[in-house]
Each structure stands twice: as C-alpha cells, then as structure tokens.
Amino acid sequence: MMFKSRKSGMRLSSGSRREFLAALAGVLLAVSVPVVAADNVTSLAPLQLPAPTGAMPIGTRDFEIVDPHRAEPSRPDVGGKRRIMVRIWYPAATAAGTRRPYRTGLEAAVLGPSLAASLNAPAGTFAHIGDGPTHAVENAPPASGRAGPIILFSHGYLGSVDTNTAMMEELASHGYVAVSITHPSESGAVVYPDGDVAALDPAVIAYMRGRALDADTRILMTSKDVGERLAATRRILAAPDRLHDSALVWRDDFRTVFSALRGKRVDAPVTAILRQADFTRTAFIGMSFGGPAAIAACHAERTCRAAVNLDGREVMDWFLDQPVRMPVLMAYNQRATDLTGFGYNDFFYEPLAQVGKTGRVTRVLFAGTGHWDFTDFTLLPKGKVAGIPTSVLGSVDGREMIRNLNDLILSYVDSHLRDGKAPAPSGKGYEPQDVSAVAAWTGGKTR
C-alpha cells in the first residue's frame, strides 16, 4: 500500500511511512505502527527493574494536586478543575515493608489496554509488564537528616507516571526526592489514589493517526541542508497545531506541581516527605514531549538550576535562536540523527551564531537506541514484539541502557545541584552530538 503526503506529493511505501511517523522527531509514540507479538508471544513478561546503586532505602507514595485556577482542558463542559496525579520517590527510614508493584491491578487494567490501543497492538500485549515488584516500599516513613535536592519529571505523550521508575528509584537511592507528574487526557491514562481514572482523550489518538507527513517534516527527517532545515523548522512552529496547546498545558502542569510542593499545599504525609527536599536545589527532567515542557517550566522557575530533555522535539518557538536561562542536557536516540546527522533541536536553546559554543547546552547521542529506550520499556524483550521499528526500540541492551542513562543523569544533576563533577563529554553508551555544521552555517549568516 502507498501513501501520499498532503503537501509534497511524495509517495512512500507503507513501511517508510510507518518509520517516519514512528520517528516523528521524537515527540510522539508510534501510534500508527501496528504491533504484533512475535514467536507467539501474546502477553509480554513483567519488567525486571535493575537494582538502584545508591545506599538509601526508597519509599514511594501517590497523591494528587488540584489546580483551582485551571479547568480541565478536555472537559470544559463539567467545569472540572485540573487534577494532576503525582508519584513521589524519596529516601526512606527503613527498607522494611511491602515493595510497590510496578503497576497495581487497576493500573494494569487501565494502562495496558490504553498502550495497546495506541499502538494497534493485541489487547493483552502489555497486560502483565507491570506485575513485578519495584524497589520502593509504598508509604514508607521518610528518612530524617539533611534535605536533598528535588527532581520533577514528566513522561512522554501517551506515557504514564511509572514509565521511568528505574530512574526515579536511582535518584531516590542517592538522596534525591524524585517526583513524576501526569498530564490528564494526554497521559495514556491516569489512575488517582481514590480510584478515579482519567482516560486518554480519544481525540489524541485520532489526531496522531491523522497527522500529515508533510513536506516540512520530511525535510527535517531527510535534509542535510542547514538553511533548508531552519526554514522548515520555522514553518512548522508557525503552523497551528494541537501540540502547541498541549505544550502550554504541560509546562503549566510542571509549575502547578512545583508551586504546590514548595508551598506545602499537600496532605500531611507528603508534607513530611518534603521536609527532605531542598527547593533551592531543583532540576526538571522530561522524556519525549515532557522534555520541552521541563525546559520551559525550568526556565520560568528561578530556583530551577538545570533541565534535561530526553529525546523530545521542541514544538514551540520559545527557545528558537534564544538562550535558555539555565544549563540544559539534550539527549537523542541514534535513529533521530541517522538519516541526516542533525538533531531536531539544533536551532534551540542557544543563539544560532553560538550553537555549541555557549557551554550551557550539552548535547549527547546514545548509540543503538530508539525513542522508547529512554524509558523502562527498553527492558522489553527486543525481538519478541514485531512491528515496533528501531526508531522506537533500538538494539541496545535494556539493562545496560538504564545503567548508562542513570549514570549520566545522576552525574549531570549532581554537577548542578550538589557541586559535583560534570559528566564527561562522552561516556558509556553515549557520545557528543555534533552541531559544528550548524555553527559553521550560522556564522555570518543573515537570518
């Protein structure tokens, strides 16, 4: 079957179209890619998270934050307020107690089918990936002692609060308070502590499946001409798009949660946990669509010292040819740059004439990776689920990827929040992303 792009008239094979949409600059999950189980695997085995490397026991707790000043965007008809479900990991006083499962029964019942539906997969494919235990004790008493830094994290579009549990546990085991936030209606699904469920808005799936593979997107995926790429980027940012509205909402979700936590506008058990958090030492991290949201929110919050974008493409022009206020780590999957050698955020976070020269932006590329390899899903048995292209799950060993990514994240935030040593420009599993061609082109150019 052949598909025709709306603007360019270019004809692509169905396989090429799936690859393009799956890799769509790292923003979205591969909703147009039909997934089928290989080797008669109809239900994937539980994820087995690697043990955190820090010495501290870990506790975890779910709660919600309500923003009385913002309506729920997807339900203006009911006048509801924005309810953000939050999961927190923290240093615990003891390792005794029951370890939280990766997903409870209700979470599995909601999140598994939601993920399967978004990927056109058989309904039971992901039903049991969350059956195994994590390393965190649910509602464990918090440790006492000196307050540590706090990290806020956001998952990707259609993601869920648990998709980077390994990273959150690693941070908590080293004394961080790590907080994962949700984005109701655009998260895969949200299960609140009281059992309420905010399902994924069906309009999101319809939007993603209906996205045009337009000429400008094709330029970003294939062109090696810097001027052509910059012009296409500007046209994409100027075009009306649902993602523009989402970017505003996600940025404000970060800020809502951060304000509530800092102001202790939470229940007593969470307030006790937050006594461990030093809000003058804060970093925001996001994966995929959460990455740009993390950077935008951190830029706006003066006490946020650093931000990390894990494979997320910018969809707003806020930082196009503009400097960010704080240091930024930008990490790409290998397939994001395979065709062109360029990253999709090369024109962001620094003035164009100074790309790669400000010392404020660290850009790295992880070998053998696809988009999902920046989540716990890198642990899925590669080769057991056919139909997911390498732009989504690469060839990298999952446990090795988690170890290497966690090492980089920990050293990066340590360097900015604990006066630790900055991570090496290249390390296990990653290397610097080369922006010299952009810098050479922009030098002396009229924009």
Residue boundaries of the structural domains of the chain: 2-442
Rounded Cα distance between 285 and 300, Å, is 14
Place of tokens 């936030």: 181
Q: Which residues pair with 72 in a beta bridge?
A: none
Burial class of 415 by CB neighbour count within 10 A (0 to 12, 13 to 18, 19+): middle
Q: What is the pLDDT of residue 300?
A: 97
Distances 438 to 36, 255, 344 between C-alpha atoms, Å: 40, 32, 12
Amino acid 27: pLDDT: 42
Question: CATH for 2-442, among 1.10.150.120, 3.40.1210.10, 3.30.413.10, 3.40.50.1820?
Answer: 3.40.50.1820
What angle, rounded to 10 degrees, do the helices at 290-300 and 242-262 form?
A: 50
What confidence score (pLDDT) does residue 15 get?
A: 45
Q: Kindly state the tokens that stand for 380.
A: 């899925």
Q: Find all residues with CB under 8 Å of 196, minimum gap 6, and list them.
A: 83
39 phi-psi bin (left φ>0, alpha ψ -120 to 50, beta other): left
Q: What pLDDT is attached to residue 125?
A: 87
Question: Which token pair is 199?
Answer: 């399902």
Q: Residue 41 has which token pair?
A: 């695997």
Helix (H, G, I), strand (E, B) or coil at 40: coil
Q: Could you tell me the two tokens for 62?
A: 């779910």
- Residue 211, SS3 per DSSP: coil
Beta-carbon contacts of residue 159 (< 8 Å; ≥ 6 apart): 29, 187, 188, 287, 288, 290, 375
Q: Are the C-beta atoms of residues 294 and 283 closer than 8 Å to each other?
A: no
- The pLDDT assigned to 387 comes to 60
Q: What pLDDT is attached to residue 327?
A: 98
pLDDT score for 30? 38
> How far apart are alpha carbons 40 and 342 in whole angstroms?
38
CB 290 within 8 A of CB 156: yes
List phi, psi (to 5°) of 434: -80, 120
pLDDT tens, the chain, 447 aa long: 222 332 333 333 444 444 444 444 344 443 344 454 444 456 899 999 999 999 999 999 999 999 988 887 665 654 678 999 999 999 999 999 999 999 999 999 999 988 887 777 788 889 999 999 999 999 999 999 889 999 999 998 889 999 999 999 999 999 999 999 999 999 988 999 989 898 888 888 788 776 666 889 889 889 999 999 999 999 999 988 888 999 999 999 999 999 999 999 999 999 999 999 999 999 999 999 999 999 999 999 999 999 999 999 999 999 999 999 999 999 999 987 777 889 999 999 999 999 999 999 999 999 999 999 999 999 998 866 656 777 788 999 999 999 999 999 999 999 999 987 777 766 789 999 999 999 999 874 544
Name the pTM for this structure. Answer: 0.90
pLDDT for the residue numbered 6: 29
In the numeric block, which tokens belong to residue 55? 């010495």
Per the CB < 8 A criterion, the answer to whether 184 and 211 are in contact is no
CB 242 within 8 Å of CB 207: yes
Cβ-based burial of 430 (10 A; exposed 0-12, middle 13-18, buried ≥19): buried
Q: What is the DSSP string of 260-305?
A: HHHTT-S-HHHHHHHTTEEEEEEEEEEETTHHHHHHHHHHH-TTEE
Q: Cα–Cα distance between 375 and 159 in angstroms, integer?
A: 10
Say how many C-beta atoms besides its own lie within 10 A of residue 202's C-beta: 11
Contact 79, 167 (CB under 8 A): no
Confirm if 433 and 364 have CB atoms less than 8 A apart.
yes
The first and second tokens of residue 366, run together, are: 């992880």
Distance CA 305, CA 134 (A): 29
